Structures are given as structure tokens and as C-alpha cells.
């Protein structure tokens, strides 16, 4: 229970990440405020079921199993519907939580009714080549890389359950800001957090929503209809937009930290994996939604966006979304960035 008596449900969607899920669930056993934990196994073919069984006595655990994958949004919606907590905290299965994560989210909701709370997200770059972070076993294609490492170097890659449970500082010392490694993801993270901290009246703070380590009241989530199952990238931003339109307010939750156990050398670039954009824009046909891609491209290294059209921050995105600067953003998007056209 939280300080105000509200119970929290940590909602997790997972697919074929059993060894990372084991570390995430271990982190939830060490929370200063014990949450309900609801996990949707979205059609895993690995040993996810065995990992879940491992924690049935250690956690107030509810599990849902999809025989075939239904997608990130549908998996999250199923878990939220099965939860009983008044506050939902969404985590991915590869995101161990700082011991105070639940307590911090609950305290923020107690002091700020109507909050959509974004926590602090970090990543552990050391796990990007690993199948199992605990044993430092390589993922497919990385066997030669790990075989060439000295034992001491390979040992530094490990993230263990013992560290999660008794020496969380060992996790924090290796973490860096942002969900993924790289200057681009970090810069975007810093701009989003700056907007949440410094510009609370910005009307586009929904664009600073997080895909993991985000909290909302269950009642508001259910009233909204949950995540749009058609969208599987940026579904969190689309939901946050609808919640804010209904009167919620985005806010930053200081100290609610989660740590992504990275599992790829790149990141899910929304400018490349752009199928989400048409569905998002059909539901919200606004210039602000259309300009999200221009904003992200503006802050990239060697940006192809012309200087006069670059968008430097969320407040700047808000200003540009008024459509009064005379810039042909369709040409910027479609010709310079090579993105598909969106309806006017």
C-alpha cells in the first residue's frame, strides 16, 4: 500500500525475454512498497513460464498468457484489465526497477491528482550483446565477440540477481541516461525531461510520455480505452495525448528509476519504423503529430532538416504547431526525410 492507502499494480508485457524478466521480477521483490505485479506473456516460446513460476511465492503475481503474440499495446491492455491496483505503473520485462520506484510513483499520485507520471529511465549498455545478463552468455551472432574477451572483461558485463537484491548500487554505477545507448536517444530524453520539469504548462507534454516506467490511475486508463492496439511504437504518446485531452497532466516523477537491459546494438528508430505514424495521425490529424518526426530528426547528428525548420524542444514544437512560421513541413518530411505523406 502507498502512503495514501492506494495500492499499486506494476503492469509488465513480455515476449521471449525470460532471463531479463527474471531480473526485473527480482527487483520488484525488493520494493520499499510491495506492488501487485501483473504480467502478460505475449506468446513467448522460451522459458518465460518457468521464470514466472519462480516468483509466485515472492510476489503478489497475476499472469496472463497469450498463445500467440498480440502486440505490445494489446498485452499491456490485458494486464491492466486484470490489475486491481488504483495506480498502474507500466514496465517492460527487461526493465529492473530501483527499490523506491513504486513508492515514488505512489507519492507523486498522492500529491498530484490526475497525473500521468514519467519516471527516470536509464540503460545498461553492458548487456547489449548478451542473451542472459546473469551468465553473460552471448546472444546469437555475438559468440565470437564474447569469446575474444578476457574473463575479467566478460565478468563486468554481468547483471545478476544477487546484485539486484543486495547491491543495487552496482547496477546504478554502470547505468547511463536514456532507454538506449547513443547521443540521439540521450538528447531526446534530456529535452523531454527538461520540458516536464521546466515547462509544466506546455500543451504538448504528452510527447514526453515514456514507453516504460510510466504511471497513471487505473480508472483513467480504463476510461480512456487503454492503448490503441493498432499502434505498437509510440503507443504511450498516443495514450498520453488522449489522457491529457481528458484533463490529465504529464509530470516527472523524480527518483522513480528503471534500468533497461539493452539487447541490441541499435534502437527502435521511429523515423525508420514509421508504420505507427499513419495510425497515430488518423486518430489525431494535427500539425503537432505530423511534426513529431521533424522534431526527432532535428536533434539528430548530421540532421537533414534545414536550420530554419529545425525544432529544438517541446516548447518550440508547441510554437511551430501553430502553423504560422511559413515553413512547408510536408516537403521537409517527405522530400528531405523520406517519410510517407500524411493526410492534411
pLDDT tens digits, one per residue of 16-32: 999 999 999 999 999 99
202 and 90 in a common domain: yes
256 and 321 in a common domain: no
How many percent of the chain have pLDDT more than 90? 86
Question: What pLDDT band is residue 343 in, cutting at 50, 70 and 90?
Answer: confident
Domain that holds residue 53: 8-125+176-261
Last residue of one domain, picked from the residues 261, 293, 319: 261
**Is residue 166 one of the residues assigned to a domain?**
no
256 and 295 in a common domain: no
38 and 111 in a common domain: yes
Q: Hunting for cell 510520455 — which residue is that?
A: 209
321 and 233 in a common domain: no
Residue 232: what pLDDT? 83
Residue 1: what pLDDT? 47
**Is residue 160 one of the residues assigned to a domain?**
no
Residue 265: what pLDDT? 59
| DSSP for 60-76, written as a single string | -EEEEE-SS---HHHHH
116 and 205 in a common domain: yes
Q: What is the CATH number of the domain that holds 17?
A: 3.90.550.10
Number of domains in the chain: 2
Last residue of one domain, picked from the residues 261, 292, 308: 261
Residue 266: what pLDDT? 56
Q: Hunting for cell 488518423 — which residue is that?
A: 282
**Is residue 150 one of the residues assigned to a domain?**
no
| Residue whose C-alpha is closest to residue 105's, from 117, 113, 94 | 117
d(CA 196, CA 189): 11
Does pLDDT of 275 surpass 90?
Answer: no
Does pLDDT of 53 surpass 90?
Answer: yes
For 29-87, where are the alpha helices, taking DSSP H only?
A: 48-54, 72-82
328 and 184 in a common domain: no
Report the predicted TM-score, pTM, of the whole model to 2 decimal places. Answer: 0.94
**Is residue 197 one of the residues assigned to a domain?**
yes
89 and 66 in a common domain: yes
Task: Average the pLDDT over 284-297 and give the result.
Answer: 94
180 and 280 in a common domain: no
| Residue whose C-alpha is closest to residue 228's, from 278, 163, 177 | 278
Does pLDDT of 2 surpass 60?
Answer: no
Helices and strands (H and E) in the chain: how many: 15, 10
Which residues are within 8 A (CB) of 338 and not within 5 positions of it... i.e. 6 or more apart?
none
Beta bridge partner(s), residue 250: 116
Question: What pLDDT band is residue 5 in, cutting at 50, 70 and 90?
Answer: very low
Last residue of one domain, picked from the residues 235, 261, 287: 261
By the 8 A CB rule, do 299 and 312 touch?
Answer: yes
Task: Average the pLDDT over 315-330 and give the result.
Answer: 95
Does pLDDT of 3 surpass 50?
Answer: no
d(CA 220, CA 23): 30
Task: Average the pLDDT over 193-205 and give the result.
Answer: 97
| DSSP for 198-227, written as a single string | H-TT-TTGGGG--SSSEEEEHHHHHHHT-S
Which residues are within 8 A (CB) of 253 and not within 5 positions of it... i.e. 6 or more apart?
104, 105, 108, 117, 118, 119, 120, 215
Beta bridge partner(s), residue 177: 122
95 and 13 in a common domain: yes
283 and 249 in a common domain: no
Does pLDDT of 271 surpass 80?
Answer: no
Does pLDDT of 161 surpass 50?
Answer: yes
Task: Average the pLDDT over 253-259 and give the result.
Answer: 98
d(CA 329, CA 71): 31
pLDDT tens digits, one per residue of 107-152: 999 999 999 999 999 999 999 999 999 999 999 999 999 999 999 9
**Is residue 149 one of the residues assigned to a domain?**
no
Mean pLDDT of the chain: 93
**Is residue 90 one of the residues assigned to a domain?**
yes
d(CA 270, CA 320): 20
**Is residue 154 one of the residues assigned to a domain?**
no
282 and 242 in a common domain: no
Residue 340: what pLDDT? 87
**Is residue 161 one of the residues assigned to a domain?**
no
Amino acid at each position: 500500500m502507498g502512503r495514501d492507502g492506494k495500492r499499486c499494480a506494476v503492469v509488465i508485457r513480455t515476449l521471449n525475454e525470460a532471463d531479463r524478466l527474471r531480473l526485473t521480477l527480482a527487483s520488484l521483490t525488493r520494493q520499499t512498497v510491495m506492488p501487485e505485479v501483473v504480467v502478460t506473456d505475449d506468446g513467448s516460446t522460451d522459458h518465460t513460464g518457468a521464470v514466472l513460476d519462480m516468483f509466485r511465492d515472492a510476489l503478489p503475481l497475476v499472469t496472463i498468457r497469450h498463445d500467440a503474440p498480440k502486440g505490445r499495446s494489446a498485452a499491456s491492455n490485458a494486464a491492466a484489465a486484470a490489475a486491481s491496483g488504483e495506480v498502474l505503473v507500466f514496465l517492460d520485462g527487461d526493465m529492473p526497477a530501483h527499490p523506491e520506484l513504486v513508492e515514488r510513483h505512489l507519492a507523486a499520485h498522492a500529491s498530484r491528482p490526475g497525473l500521468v507520471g514519467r519516471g527516470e529511465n536509464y540503460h545498461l549498455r553492458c548487456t547489449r550483446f548478451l542473451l542472459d545478463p546473469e551468465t553473460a552468455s552471448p546472444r546469437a551472432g555475438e559468440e565470437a565477440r564474447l569469446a575474444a574477451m578476457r574473463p575479467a572483461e566478460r565478468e563486468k558485463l554481468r547483471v545478476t540477481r544477487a546484485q539486484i537484491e543486495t547491491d543495487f548500487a552496482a547496477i546504478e554505477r554502470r547505468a547511463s541516461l536514456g532507454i538506449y545507448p547513443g547521443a540521439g536517444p540521450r538528447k531526446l530524453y534530456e529535452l523531454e525531461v527538461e520540458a516536464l520539469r521546466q515547462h509544466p504548462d506546455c500543451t504538448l507534454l504528452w510527447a514526453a510520455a515514456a514507453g516504460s516506467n510510466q504511471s497513471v490511475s487505473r480508472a483513467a486508463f480504463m476510461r480512456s480505452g487503454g492503448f490503441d492496439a493498432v499502434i505498437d511504437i509510440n503507443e504511450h504518446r498516443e495514450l498520453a495525448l488522449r489522457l491529457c485531452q481528458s484533463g490529465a497532466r504529464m509530470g516527472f516523477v523524480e527518483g522513480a528509476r528503471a534500468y533497461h537491459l539493452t539487447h541490441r546494438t541499435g534502437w527502435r528508430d521511429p523515423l525508420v519504423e514509421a508504420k505507427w505514424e499513419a495510425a497515430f495521425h488518423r486518430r489525431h490529424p494535427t500539425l503537432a503529430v505530423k511534426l513529431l518526426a521533424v522534431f526527432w530528426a532535428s536533434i539528430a547528428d548530421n540532421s537533414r532538416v534545414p536550420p530554419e525548420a529545425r525544432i529544438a524542444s517541446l516548447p518550440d514544437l508547441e510554437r511551430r504547431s501553430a502553423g504560422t512560421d511559413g515553413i512547408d513541413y510536408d516537403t521537409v518530411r517527405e522530400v528531405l526525410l523520406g517519410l510517407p505523406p500524411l493526410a492534411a
